[in-house]
Amino acid sequence: MDKLIVEGGYKLKGTVNISGSKNASLPILAAALLTDEPVRISRVPDVSDTNYMIQILSQLGASVERSSGTVRIDSPDGISSSASYEQVRKMRASICLLGPMMARMKRCTLPLPGGCVIGDRPVDLHVRAIQALGARVRIKSGNLVMEAPNGLVGATVDMRGDNGPTVLGTDNLMMAAVLARGTTVIESAAREPEVVDLANFLNKMGAQIEGAGSRTITIHGVEQLHGCEHTVIPDRIEAGTFMVAGALISEGVTINRICRDHVQAVADMLSECGHTVRFSSNGASVYVAPGVQPKGGKITTSPYPGFPTDMQAQMTALFSVTPGISVVRDTIFPQRFMHCSELKRMGANIKMDNGTAVITGTERLSGAPVMASDLRASAALVLAALAAEGVTEIHRLYHIDRGYEMLDDKLMGLGAHVSRVPDLKAVEES
């Protein structure tokens, strides 16, 4: 187990290249199961979550080769329809294997994913969607057991849940529908760029999907899909994280390999708070610098294209040292505030009020030993540490390694004083 030592107070400068999207890669890797022909996916980030997905695909019987950012997957007939608890329990997003396994093998045994620190992670919308296409479902010793011996049949399904549309639920239904008999219409579909990227990948495989990126997606089932090549979109949350770093403590940073539309909500919020945000003419790069007179802001997360839930913790770190009062409410994961207690240990003034964080900006945070808890909370702690006075030790770095490719190297490249060292104390405790 590693920890990150951050010496705060050093202004970032220079340029950083954003990696491919973790959240686009995961369903696309799973979608490789939909054909017995090889697929090649480029710019898959080398992070724990994509490696877990690759391990699961191999364990099912697919042959997977990875050379730097390109992954080649070959899923011959006869692959298993049953994933192991050992593998699935490591990553909740494994639920996105449901759709491709049901489409290809018409049955699947998938351990139910547990919750996680950002809140209860139900899968009722996923189950209801595949049932609507004719699957029989039962829960057996902690597994979701689904079968559709006569194959899946297209239907119209409304995917809206109490907390809005479901991203991976939309993905699962799309992947189940591509080989179903007839047409499937997804109402209240998620509009995230990662859903669009998956739809583009499936259409390259020969699927017939229209409307991805809107609230209504139509899928005309086809007999079979073929292999293809695809490059995943840039990681908009990694890009947003570096944009916040640029606004927090820099002489101006340039963030390359982004897609302007995908980070517009974060850019608008940073500009509203008085920071400098300038996109290149082609929208593939953005320059961010701290505002002269920055001010607090009010964030209510919402499904794309609204402000992303995956960016509210990072903004909370920025608000912690921004003059004035800021308010952050997460409508998607109302309990997603694990970072606040650790930020308070660094001197942040944050009061929780019924699922809303009220932040009063302080002059400066002070370095302290802190504990990472989930992927984006950990990113918030790294940001806070960059701006804090003194040294911060961030334990349980594996949370960051789930979704940020070479974060410490990228920060060092921007002039941050960070170093990754073995966490000997954690080893003793574990």
Cβ-Cβ contacts under 8 Å for 127 (sequence gap 6 or more): 137, 144, 146
Query: In the window 134-163, what residues touch ligand EPZ (CB under 6 A)?
Result: 161-163
Using DSSP bridges, classify how beta strands 143-147 and 183-187 pair: parallel, antiparallel or unpaired.
unpaired
Does residue 215 belong to the site contacting ligand EPZ (CB under 6 A)? no
Please give the structure tokens belonging to residue 168.
Answer: 């991976």
**List 375, 381, 384, 397, residue binding ligand EPZ (CB under 6 A):** 375
The C-alpha atoms of residue 370 and residue 372 are separated, in whole angstroms, by 7
Does residue 26 belong to the site contacting ligand EPZ (CB under 6 A)? yes
Does residue 23 belong to the site contacting ligand EPZ (CB under 6 A)? yes
Q: Looking at residue 252, what DSSP letter applies?
A: E
Collapsing DSSP states into helix, strand and coil, what is residue 412? helix
CB 296 within 8 A of CB 323: yes
Helix 167-177 × helix 124-132 angle, to 10°: 20
Does residue 126 belong to the site contacting ligand EPZ (CB under 6 A)? yes
Nearest to 134 by CA among 157, 117, 161, 111: 157
* Dihedral (CA of 413, 16, 242, 170) sign: negative
Does residue 330 belong to the site contacting ligand EPZ (CB under 6 A)? no
Q: How far is the CB of 122 from ligand EPZ (least distance, A)?
A: 4
Q: How far is the CB of 366 from ligand EPZ (least distance, A)?
A: 27
Choosing from 96, 108, 116, 228, which is the catalytic residue? 116
Q: How far is the CB of 430 from ligand EPZ (least distance, A)?
A: 24
The C-alpha atoms of residue 131 and residue 295 are separated, in whole angstroms, by 49
Does residue 376 belong to the site contacting ligand EPZ (CB under 6 A)? yes
Does residue 25 belong to the site contacting ligand EPZ (CB under 6 A)? no
Query: In the window 290-319, what residues touch ligand EPZ (CB under 6 A)?
Result: 309-310
Q: How far is the CB of 5 from ligand EPZ (least distance, A)?
A: 24
**List 50, 166, 200, 312, residue binding ligand EPZ (CB under 6 A):** 166
Does residue 121 belong to the site contacting ligand EPZ (CB under 6 A)? yes
Does residue 220 belong to the site contacting ligand EPZ (CB under 6 A)? no
Of residues 8 and 399, the one with the C-beta less far from ligand EPZ: 399
116 annotated active-site:
yes
Of residues 152 and 332, the one with the C-beta less far from ligand EPZ: 332
Q: What are phi and psi of 135, to 5 degrees?
A: -80, 150
Query: In the window 55-84, what residues touch ligand EPZ (CB under 6 A)?
Result: none
Please give the structure tokens belonging to residue 430.
Answer: 């574990």
Cβ-Cβ contacts under 8 Å for 247 (sequence gap 6 or more): 270, 273, 275, 277, 288, 289, 290, 291, 294, 318
Please give the structure tokens belonging to residue 128.
Answer: 């209801």
Pattern 175-204, ligand EPZ, x by CB under 6 A: -------------------x----------
Binding site for ligand EPZ (CB under 6 A): 23, 26, 93, 121-126, 161-164, 166-169, 194, 309-310, 332-333, 375-376, 403
Active-site amino acid positions: 116
